[in-house]
Chain A
Amino acid sequence: MDLGPHAAFIWISYAAVTVTITGLILWLIADGRKQAADLEALERQGVKRRSAAPGVR
């Protein structure tokens, strides 16, 4: 694909968007896993929410 004399500007733009959005998605997934693991660890220790319904996260 020939993007002409300004190809570098186009590729850098798309690369920046890809890296930033992928980074955000990975951060959200990692954060979600950490919170779920912390919650599970607390519940294993016997600390339970008073309002917790069974199976509801």
Chain B
Amino acid sequence: MQTLTQRLANPARFMELSARLLPWISGAAGILLVSGLYLAFFASPADYQQGETVRIMYIHVPCAWLSMMVYGLIALSSFGLLVFRHPLADVSAKAAAPLGAAFTFLALLTGSLWGKPMWGTYWVWDARLTSVLILFFLYLGLMALRSALEDESAAAKLTAILALVGVTILPIIKFSVDWWNTLHQPSTDFTSTVDPSMRLPLLVMAVAFTLLFFAMHLKAMRNEILRRRVKALRTQAVAGRDRLAAQAANHGAAE
């Protein structure tokens, strides 16, 4: 019996399935996002210490969560490419990189904008902030390495190796607030560190952002598959023209 990943190994089947899933995931993300924004602004209180700035948490935490989850997905896809040679693994890794970079950038930016009124500074070189900045540079490195190499197959393998080496940053980010003294608060624990009145909006926004990412990732994968088809067809067309030209030249020489 075929597993789901084996069934999805066929790009045509993936295109068919993703076309059906995309509107549902996008719709669910949209509904949850609107609900989450309503809860964040109108149905949750200001924090007793941070005041209204706590509302930045409802976008900062989902972006920070996605910055790590997306890198985890890229590492998993890279493993799938290098070990199982899954045909869609590289498509997934390539499609996820710019999205992960965008969410990491947003986590850094919103964290900085939250930090200024709370800590009195936009930036400190402490372990959590610095390790997330390294993650952002890793994303940029993955994209730069891929676009620097013309041979797509070699680019895919080298990018996958870099992604797997870079995965070491994830536990460093996660535990940086426990291992070192930092200005950053400890990790958000949904069950104990967040007041129930703020837990629901945060949870809804986190699920909304995650679904939004998956919708964008599916769309980006579909685009990448189409791009590869276009490239293959162009190569096929050029090869066909060259063959015809060679035949015409041989025919002319024979006469």
Contact = CB atoms under 8 A, between A and B. Distances in A.
Interface residues on B, range: 35 or more
Interface of B: 12, 15-16, 19, 41, 46, 51-53, 55-56, 59-60, 63, 98-99, 102, 105-106, 109-110, 113-114, 116-117, 212, 216, 219-220, 222-223, 226-227, 229-230, 232-234, 236-237, 240
Contacts, number: 95
Interface in A15-57: 16-17, 20-21, 24-25, 28-29, 31-32, 35-36, 38-39, 42-43, 45, 47-49, 51, 53, 56-57
B117 A32 contact: no
Please classify the interface of chain A as helix (H, G, I), strand (E, B), loop, or mixed, using the class held by over half of its residues: helix
A29 B226 CA distance: 13
Contacts of B60: 13
Kindly name the residue among B41, B46, B53, B63 whose own CB sees the greatest number of chain A CB atoms within 10 A.
B53
Interface residues of A, number: 36
Contacts of B109: 13, 16
Interface of A: 1-7, 9-10, 12-14, 16-17, 20-21, 24-25, 28-29, 31-32, 35-36, 38-39, 42-43, 45, 47-49, 51, 53, 56-57
